[in-house]
């Protein structure tokens, strides 16, 4: 039997392919303005709470106040994202977040309100925003995967990441500058305006909702589907676990007000710049990643990226120079963005469309746990050990996590190009 000959044709990589899709452009604008809003809010709220309490544990409680509702309703939020119109779910969550921004502005407009009530009103708003974000993330991310062609997933994730990181540069710096040179009231006005723009631009998206699944599974079975899928797919599980423990143990963001005030002595303006530094590095990395083809050795790249992130956190904890601290945070942002790109693309490529919301909610639990619970862990560790030892030891622990997962999951080490993967079928309940 004669051999068939195949001719390989090189196809030029279009770095702007996802941005040529109209709906995705509106999606990006909404993400940009919503993230700027939330980052302004995070800087100003953190500084106000620390100014009221002068206790690093109060900063950790911010993470706990958001993590508890976020994680508590995440699985149900994923179920909702797969069963209801993802566009409407996202709009409802954005409306709640707009209400939270307005509430923070009102707190600062009422004379004597904050001296009487202290940090408690802030925690209440953070709790409500945690619930809203829990519904927003799986619905919005699943919708984002539906409005672009499957072949554009990696490119779309790269631009989504660069947009988020760009906003995470502008937002903290803007929040710190407005707080330092104007007032928290003006900062919260900017916060509310940006969130309003995010709501309107997301509403403009022309979304053709797919018919909901007709299978008659119970709510319990539906909620467990996302978990079963993730625990069935070892590569995705290991990538999520790597993110969970590395950021949970090695995150320093929650303690930046302490470093800005007591160690680097740069005030709220410096805090905004410190908060923006990781995102500035991530923007550079994400723009570069959008202009290059997918990684040929994605697994090794992921492990190296997380290891670099951990080493930067150790260096930041030891640094006493503002500019060295900025550089280390920027490099950590570059490394983190590489891991985010690989993990997010894996999730979209491996997950069947009808499970995107539920698997996205499991991803949100991992990411939310690492960020918000990591903030709580940092606050507790700083109270017990001091800010510097807690950051340094956390970075070393993150490095240990990379070594353990890299050794335990050889499939992850051997992972090649993500764009060559196909969706994985969910095993039946009986098989599980």
Please state, as a whole number, how many other Cβ atoms lie within 10 Å of the Cβ of residue 396. 16
Query: Residue 307's closest CA among 389, 158, 407?
Result: 407
Give the separation between CA 72 and CA 131, rounded to whole angstroms: 8
Confidence of residue 3 (pLDDT cuts 50, 70, 90): very low
Contact 123, 69 (CB under 8 A): no
Is the domain 18-206+222-420 a CATH 1.20.1250.20 member? yes
Q: Give me the percent of the chain exceeding a pLDDT of 70.
A: 88
Triad 266, 383, 333: Cα angle to 5°: 50
Max CA separation in the chain (angstroms): 88
Look at residue 292 and give its three-state secondary structure.
Answer: coil
Give the separation between CA 34 and CA 156, rounded to whole angstroms: 18
pLDDT at 6: 34
The per-residue pLDDT of the chain, averaged, comes to 82
Contact 343, 240 (CB under 8 A): yes
Could you tell me which residue, 277 or 103, shows the higher pLDDT? 103
Instruction: Write the CA distances from 82 to 23, 75, 89, 216, 364, integer angstroms.
Output: 20, 11, 10, 14, 15
Look at residue 106 and give its three-state secondary structure.
Answer: helix
Is 274's pLDDT higher than 90?
A: no
Write the pLDDT tens digit of every residue in 382-431.
778 888 888 888 889 888 988 888 888 888 888 877 766 666 555 554 44
Angle formed by the axes of helices 86-109 and 184-204, to 10°? Answer: 160
Which residues, in sequence order, are CB contacts of 212 under 8 Å at separation 6+?
A: 82, 83, 84
Please state, as a whole number, how many other Cβ atoms lie within 10 Å of the Cβ of residue 406. 20
Q: Residue 386: in which H helix or E strand, if any?
A: none
Confidence of residue 252 (pLDDT cuts 50, 70, 90): confident
pLDDT at 372: 64
Which residues, in sequence order, are CB contacts of 411 under 8 Å at separation 6+?
A: 234, 235, 238, 299
The alpha carbon torsion through 389, 394, 395, 396 (nearest 10 deg) reads 90
Q: In 291-321, which ranges are continuous DSSP H helix? A: 298-318
Write the pLDDT tens digit of every residue in 7-66.
334 445 678 888 899 999 999 999 999 999 999 998 899 888 888 887 777 877 787 787
pLDDT at 239: 83
pLDDT at 99: 96
Give the separation between CA 269 and CA 274, rounded to whole angstroms: 9
Contact 43, 172 (CB under 8 A): yes
Write the pLDDT tens digit of every residue in 254-263.
788 888 888 8
Look at residue 168 and give its three-state secondary structure.
Answer: helix
Q: In 54-152, which ranges are continuous DSSP H helix? A: 56-72, 74-83, 86-109, 113-117, 120-146
Query: Residue 360's closest CA among 80, 32, 95, 159?
Result: 80
């Amino acid at each position: 039997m004669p051999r068939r000959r195949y001719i390989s044709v090189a196809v030029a990589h279009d770095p702007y392919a996802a941005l040529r899709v109209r709906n995705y452009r509106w999606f990006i604008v909404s993400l940009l303005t919503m993230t700027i809003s939330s980052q302004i809010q995070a800087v100003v709220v953190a500084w106000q709470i620390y100014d009221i309490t002068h206790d690093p544990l109060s900063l950790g409680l911010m993470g706990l106040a958001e993590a508890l509702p976020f994680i508590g309703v995440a699985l149900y939020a994923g179920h909702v994202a797969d069963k209801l119109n993802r566009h409407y779910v996202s709009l409802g969550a954005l409306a709640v977040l707009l209400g939270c921004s307005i509430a923070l502005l009102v707190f600062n407009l009422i004379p004597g309100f904050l001296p009487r009530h202290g940090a408690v009103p802030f925690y209440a708003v953070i709790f409500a925003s945690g619930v809203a974000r829990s519904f927003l993330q799986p619905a919005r991310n699943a919708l984002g995967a539906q409005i672009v062609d499957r072949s554009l997933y990696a490119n779309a994730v790269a631009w989504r990441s660069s947009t988020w990181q760009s906003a995470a540069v502008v937002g903290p710096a803007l929040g710190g500058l407005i707080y330092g040179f104007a007032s928290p009231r003006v900062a919260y006005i900017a916060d509310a305006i940006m969130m309003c723009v995010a709501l309107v631009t997301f509403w403009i998206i022309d979304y053709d909702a797919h018919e909901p699944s007709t299978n008659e599974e119970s709510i319990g079975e539906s909620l467990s589907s996302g978990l079963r899928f993730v625990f069935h797919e070892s590569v995705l599980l290991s990538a999520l676990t790597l993110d969970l423990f590395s950021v949970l143990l090695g995150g320093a963001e929650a303690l930046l007000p302490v470093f800005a005030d007591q160690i680097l002595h740069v005030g709220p303006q410096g805090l905004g710049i410190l908060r923006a530094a990781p995102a500035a590095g991530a923007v550079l990395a994400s723009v570069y990643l959008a202009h290059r083809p997918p990684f040929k050795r994605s697994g090794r790249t992921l492990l190296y990226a997380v290891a670099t992130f951990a080493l930067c956190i150790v260096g930041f904890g030891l640094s006493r120079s503002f500019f060295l601290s900025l550089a280390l945070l920027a490099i950590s942002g570059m490394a983190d963005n590489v891991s985010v790109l690989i993990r997010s693309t894996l999730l979209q490529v491996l997950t069947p469309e009808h499970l995107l919301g539920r698997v996205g909610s499991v991803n949100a639990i991992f990411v939310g746990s690492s960020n918000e619970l990591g903030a709580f862990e940092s606050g507790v560790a700083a109270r017990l050990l001091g800010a510097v030892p807690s950051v340094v030891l956390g970075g070393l622990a993150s490095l240990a996590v990379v070594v353990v997962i890299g050794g335990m999951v050889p499939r992850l080490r051997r992972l090649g190009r993500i764009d060559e993967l196909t969706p994985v079928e969910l095993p039946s309940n009986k098989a599980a």
